[in-house]
Structure formats: structure tokens, C-alpha cells
Structure 1
Amino acid sequence: MARRAQQVPLVCHGHSRPIVEISYSPITEDGYFLMSASKDGKPMIRDGESGDWIGTFEGHKGAVWSANLNLPATHCVTGSADFSARVWNAITGDELYSFQHKHIVRTALFSQDSHCILTGGMEKKIRIFNLGRPDADPLVMEGAPSGIRQAVWFNNDSLILCAYSDQPGIHLWDTRTLTQVRTVETALPVTNIELSRGGTWMTTCAGREIQFWNTEKMEVVKSHTMEFEMESSSLHPVEGKFVAGGEDMWVRLYDYQTGEELECNKGHHGPVHCVRFAPDGESYASGSEDGTIRIWSTMTAAEQEAAAEKDEAARAVENLTVEDNAAPVAAAA
């Protein structure tokens, strides 16, 4: 029986407890970066391509549930079980602002212009803090029926998409009226929302269902039922592929159109809580209960082997050509 090729990922150590969120920056003039949030309370920033550790943001007194960079990757925001959201200088590691809450902060994110952050969590409230006036009271959106698991800016920051901890659906809040304006139904609570860079596509996980949405109409355009419950999924920025991870500890790459499994990556020793494609689409990262981040090539192991064999054959032909061309010279000598 033929041996099935297996990927060898880049393994990023450093966290001592489970990884609960990972996020990439866009591509900047200095490359792109990977943030990780962990229950060890020490969010980290890494080189997004190599996985090399760059720094740890010290200061939280509880698990960190959320960690995200702004678009230029100059600042990061974190949300924690210590009832605070904090803004940091991503270059120096200095803490710039700390915003106190009355319960666990599960999600924290910069606006597109980096002037504001939004936070949400077990208080059942969404807050928007103006970083130009950090001492001012935040805008507050109240009335969520459940804790807020994840919130993301949408539609040029005029709307916020929310997933609640134990309520199904995707819930849209208007940042101008501070009210919930729409709910899009899902069968089960949504565990992960990912927006494409342009905001035109949304990927969601809910139980075994992974769904892909046209955000203009908020309609499902593709849905796949997985074999296992998936906690997180990510759509390739260009190619028709998506990656997903969940309770079974494996990270799987799928064909977007058919749902066919293209590769199953083994290596984690606990459930996979988060997956994300790098902004260039060349790789994707996974974070697990085992406290590690693993970076996998989008090119499958079989494709890598085939490419290596092709390169080796090309080199052999090149060497043969060189030897053939050199033979008359040697004879003349």
C-alpha cells in the first residue's frame, strides 16, 4: 500500500495553556504578523511567515480571549478574563490604554482607521471606545440576550456582526443608532465568524455546518456539513479552498465547491480552537488546546512531493545537458 505523504508544520511553542484565538495582520512593508490569544494570559506576536516569536505583551491578570492587530500592524488590542481590554504599541510592547469592564471580555477589535476599538463579552454589551478620547465614556449597545462570543466591524464600520455564546444566529448592530437591526438565522450558535478582507464574503461555523455568505444580501451561497463539529474555519483569500478545525484534533483542508477533503493534517494533541489563512494564502495557522500554534503549507504534502520530484528531474536533465556539452571540450583537451 502506498505511503500517504504527511505535512511537517512549523510548530510555534511559547504558550503554556490553550490557544483560543489567532489572527493575521494584512501584508505590510515589513511583512505580515500573527497574533495569538491564550488562557495563559500572555498574548504574543510572531512573524506570520516563519512563526518566529517577536514579543509577548505582559500585563493581563487572567486568560486572554482575544488579540488583534490594527491594519498597519502598529498596535494591538486584547480582551481578557481579568475584565479588561487593553491597547498596546505592537512595536515596543508598551501598554497604552486599559479599559475596565464588569465581566470577561471575549472579543476586541480595531476599527478600520484604528481610531476606535469595539469590545464584547459576558456583560451582554458591545462597547465602542474612542482612542482619541480614552477617558470619555464609550458608546454602549445593550440588550443582547446572551454573552457575546465574537464581534466584528462590518460595512465600513457602520455595522457590527455578533455571535452570541448560547444563542443561534448572526446579529447585526447599527453603530449609529446603537441598536440591533437584524438577525440572520443559523441552526446552532455560531462559534466563529470570518470576514474576507474586502468584506464581501463571510465564513461561519455552527456545529457541523460551515457556511459561506454573500454579505451584501446576507445569504448563504455555499454550505458544507462536516463529519465532526468544527469550532473554526477560514476561506482562502484567492483559491477555492477552506480550512477547518475542531474537536477531533486534526486540521483539514477542503475544496470550497465540493467540500471534498484535500488534506488531513495531524499533529495537535488537543481540540483545534482556531484556524486562519495567512494574507498571502501560502499557509494557514492553527491554534489548539495543546498550547501550540502550527503553520501548514497550503500546498498539500502530495503536491509538495510532486513538485520536489519535478525539480529533481529538471536538475538531472540540466546536469546531463551540462555533461554532454562539456564532453567535446574534454576530448579536445
Structure 2
Amino acid sequence: MRPFLLKGHERPITRVKFNREGDLLFTTSMDKSPTCWRSSNGERIGTYKGHNGAVRDIDITYNSERVITASADNSAMLWRADTGEKLYQWHFQSPARAVCFSPGDGLIAVATTKLMGQPSNIYIFEHDMNSDEQSEEPVMVLEGHEGTIVRVVWYPTGEYIISAAEDGTVRKWDAENGEEIARVEAHENIIRDCQFSSDYTMFITSSKDHTAKLWTLHDFELMKTYSVDHPVNSASISPIFSHVLLGGGQEASMVTTTTDRQGKFEAKIFHLVYEEELGRVKGHFGPINTVAFSPDGKMYVSGGEDGYVRLHGFDDEYFDKGKEDTV
């Protein structure tokens, strides 16, 4: 697995995300400049300039025409994906932490940070794909998390919203009236990430408690637990094989005195069903903050505290092994 090493950020990577087709890769960083790359060769297409603080999350519309970003400058920004033109900016009382478009892209969800007496809420805004101007007023506000929401994702049907937070809980909300309808105490420590499977039947959470956990989306039933000896910052489910990918490592504050091996900075692949570790991939010189499989499952991307994005294409050996592993 020879990776493309993408160096376009000056500070730690916070989020990596493919568009629906998988031909574009979007990355965010503490350096204020979200970036778009061509996934086939690692070419940097351009950056989105306008934020004045770290950018923590990004999402892309179904047709890859627009991008939404969440920033520590207390705002979320809407952009044209191809030109980098800023179309609209929403303002909040605390940093924006997570964003996502609804199915059909008619709504936008923005989760804010719990800070300086401000709660972590989810704000729902209407999104007009045919206009640059958008409404500043939310149509709904979802309240209840006791810790900062780190990820917000819409059900594929649009009827529910899933949120994961640093309070260790995952919650399901009614997207029509904003009521909380389900909750699970998923982890004993901070949740770092939450990602859906490609068929939207499962989701995986990753935590500072040294585990990633696989859940049923329908009723929040715990299916599997993947345990390691370090914090897990991100986890992703393969769309083609019974594999899950974990990224993490020793806390960033302790990295300066730690080698690659001591810090546990490898990406790890586990068997989805049997919970066994199948392999590791080295490369980062600090904790891995974010990982994602491509939509076709032929590659994965990782973003690290070292400021690098590593784009790995799987080799024939992986595909042969993957077919054997998949049940």
C-alpha cells in the first residue's frame, strides 16, 4: 500500500471526507483553510479561504456543488465546491463544531461547542440550492447534550438526526419536531467520532476510552467492541468487506517524547464480526485524528496531528484477504 502523502495544511488535520462519488477528497485542519484534493492522484485542487479560526468539520452536497464548514471562529460557511467562492456565513455564540447536509440537501445542521456558558446545540437551517442567500434564522434548535457535540448525521430518510458528543452519549432526534427519541450511553469517556456504514444499517463510534463500538442504527443495539491500548479518535466501516478501520494514538500533548511505535500511531484494520486485528499501517508521526474509507472501498485516507493527509490505495493482497474475511 504505497500512499499519496498530501501536504497542504500547516497544522493538525481535523476531518477527512470523500464526496459521494469518491473522486474528490475534502480535508479540514486547525490552520483555517479547508482543502479539496483529487483522490486519484493526490492533486490539490484548491482551498476555501475565509475562516478566521480552526475548521473542525466539513460536508458536501449530493451533487458535489456546495460545501459547508464548521469553524472555531463561531461560524459555519457555505461555499461553491468548484471555485471556492464563499456564498453565505452563519454566526453563533460559540465555535461551530459539526455540520451536515440533509438528504436532498434542503436543510443544514450545525452543532456548536459547549463553551463559556454556551450550550452545545444543533441548529437546523433551510438551504436553498438555487440561491446564494440563505436564512440566518434556524427553523429548529435541538437541545440536551451535556458535552460538546462532535458529529451530527442525518438518517438517509431524513426523518431522524443522530448526534454523538463528548458526554459519551449518542442521541436520536425527530427531525420534524426536534424531540429526543432515543439515547445510549455509548462510552465511558469522550466520543471523538461517529460514522455510518454505507448501507445505513450500522454506525461506529470511537472514543478516548480506547475502544470503537459498532451499533445498529435502528435501535442502538451494541453489536461489537474493538479494543486497543490507546485513545481511538476515529473509525470507519468498509463499504465492501467485513472490515473496520481505527485511527488514534497517544494524546497529542504527550507526543513530543514519544516514538512512532510507542505512541501507537498506526492505522489498524479489524475484522468487523470477529473483532480481531488484521493489520496495521504505519506512517504518521503523531496521533491519527480522522480516518475514512472511500465510497468504493478501494482506498482509505487518514489525517494526523502531524498535519499530513495520507491517501492509501489497497493492493491485490488486501482484496484477496478481504474476500476471505467477508461473511
**TM-score, reference length from structure 2:** 0.85
Could you tell me which of 66, 70, 76 is aligned with 1:75?
66
Pairing 1:295–2:296 present: no
Aligned to 1:237: 239
Measured after TM superposition, the shift of residue 44 of structure 1 is 0.5
Provide the rounded CA distance (Å) in 1 between the counterparts of 2:183 and 2:299.
33
Give, in whole Å, the separation in 2 of the partners of 1:74 and 1:65. 20
**Correspondent of 2:217 among 202, 215, 218:** 215
- Is residue 268 from structure 1 mapped to residue 284 from structure 2 by the alignment? yes
Please give the TM-score of this superposition, normalised by the length of structure 1: 0.84
Contact 1:48 1:278 survives alignment (8 Å): no
Rounded to whole Å, the distance in 1 between the matches of 2:11 and 2:195 is 24
* Alignment partner, residue 259 of structure 2: none
Quote the residue 1:249 is aligned against: 265
Alignment partners' CA distance in 2, 1:89 and 1:258: 43
Tell whether the 8 Å contact from 1:161 to 1:171 is kept in structure 2 after alignment: yes
> Structure 1 residue 190: deviation in Å?
2.0
Match of 2:124 in 1: 128
Instruction: State how far apart, in whole Å, the 1-side matches of 2:182 and 2:216 are.
Output: 15
State the Cα deviation string for residues 152-179 of structure 1 (Å, max 9, x = none). 11252222111122x1221112221212
Which position in structure 1 is the counterpart of 2:20?
A: 26
* Residue correspondence of structure 1 range 140-289 to structure 2 within 5 A: 140-165=141-166, 167-188=167-188, 189-206=190-207, 207-247=209-249, 248-289=264-305
Pairing 1:116–2:111 present: no
Q: SS at 1:145's partner residue?
A: coil
Answer whether contact 1:173 1:181 (CA < 8 A) is retained. Answer: yes
Is the radius of gyration larger for structure 1 or structure 2? Answer: 1
Aligned-pair RMSD on alpha carbons? 2.0
Shift of 1:86: 0.5
C-alpha separation between the residues in 1 aligned to 2:282 and 2:165? 30
Give a deviation string over 1:177-199, Cα, whole Å, max 9, x none.
Answer: 21222211223232111012332
Contact 1:67–1:76, Cα closer than 8 Å, also in 2: yes
Conserved 8 A contact 2:197-2:239: yes
SS at match of 2:186: strand
Distance 1:259 1:50, change over 3 A: farther
Per the alignment, do residues 228 and 146 of structure 1 end up closer, same or farther by CA in structure 2, a change over 3 Å counting? closer
Q: Deviation at 1:303?
A: 5.2
Indicate which of 4, 17, 21 corresponds to 1:10: 4
Gaps of 5+ in 1: 1-6, 307-333
The corresponding residue for 2:48 is 57
Aligned length: 295
Aligned counterparts, 1:86-105, within 5 A: 86-105=77-96
Offset from partner CA, 1:232-289 (integer Å, 9 cap, x none): 1111001111111101221112222223332211111110000000011001000000
Q: What are the superposed Cα offsets for residues 25-83 of structure 1, whole Å, 9 maximum, x if unpaired?
A: 111xxx62111110000000111232211110000001000111112111110000000
Q: Specify the code of the residue in structure 1 equivalent to 2:279.
A: E
Partner SS for 2:11: coil
Deviates more, 1:188-197 or 1:35-44: 188-197
Identity %: 28
- C-alpha distance 303-21 of structure 1, shift in aligned 2 (>3 A): closer
